[in-house]
Structure 1
Amino acid sequence: MGFHISIAEALQQLHKSENDFATIFEHGSMRGILFGPAEIDDQQPHLQDEIYIVLKGSGEFTLEEKKIKFGPGDFIFVPAGTEHRFSAFTPDLLLWVVFYGQQGGEGQ
């Protein structure tokens, strides 16, 4: 892969995937993913820090005990190993996800 991918190309990869995500780009410890969860977000805490950028959709996001409303254009940071979940989201929810850094997170 090169250094650029359009949302149309990323959506093609997501539609071909058997999961609700598709890895779009990898470089070193960084992975760029397109994530379009179905009705339930059942993900578990991850080993790396991660960033979500909301492309489409809205709903609620829970990070441990904190709950926020989110919408298009929002940026959400999740430290490695932290419980988090999207809920009550619209069916069109689409997110860029970037995992990066060492296992356990950069804040160690």
Structure 2
Amino acid sequence: MRAFRLDQLELERAANDGAYLRFLRERSMSVGLYALAAGQQDPQRPQLQDVVFFVVSGRASLTVGHETTVVARGSVVFVPGGVPRRFHHITEDLRVMVVFSPPEG
């Protein structure tokens, strides 16, 4: 078993000066913490993997393909691989747990 604490992951992500911290990679999936500040632009591009976003904190709009929804703490969104997606209109600092299958990178 491997266990993680969100506060420690956030410290590690911030210490590495990155918006994304991959903290788990296994044969069938990888998991990371993604952070965007209020008002920030989301630079992500479509990827081949399926992805699940779990919003840990914050508030934003998320556009997946041609659909847009508002996400906030507790939101869970599945995005099929290859479909364009981006967070925008980020009104509260956003922290998102991201699960890729198969693993990214």
Where does 1:3-22 land on structure 2 (aligned, <5 Å)?
3-22=2-21
List structure 1 segments (4+ residues) > 3 angstroms apart after TM superposition.
Answer: none
Shift in CA distance, 56/102, structure 1 to aligned 2, threshold 3 Å: closer
SS at structure 2 position matched to 1:51: strand
SS at structure 1 position matched to 2:81: coil
Match of 2:90 in 1: 89
Q: Deviations over 1:13-69 (max 9, x none)?
A: 211223211011111131110000241101100121000000111111101110111
CA distance in 2, matches of 1:101, 1:84: 18
CA distance in 2, matches of 1:71, 1:56: 6
More strand, by proportion? 2
Under a length normalisation based on structure 1, what TM-score does the superposition of the two structures give? 0.86
Shift in CA distance, 9/45, structure 1 to aligned 2, threshold 3 Å: same
Question: Is contact 1:13-1:24 (8 Å) kept?
Answer: no
Q: CA deviation at 1:78?
A: 0.7
What fraction of aligned residue pairs are identical, expressed as a percent?
25
- Name structure 2 gaps, 5 residues minimum: none
CA distance in 1, matches of 2:52, 2:64: 12
Match of 1:37 in 2: 36
Q: CA deviation at 1:102?
A: 7.5
CA distance in 2, matches of 1:91, 1:57: 5
Q: CA deviation at 1:93?
A: 0.5
CA-based RMSD of the aligned residues comes to: 1.6
Higher relative contact order (CA 8 A, sep 6+): 2
Under a length normalisation based on structure 2, what TM-score does the superposition of the two structures give? 0.89
Q: Which range is displaced more, 10-19 or 55-64?
A: 10-19
CA distance in 1, matches of 2:103, 2:97: 20
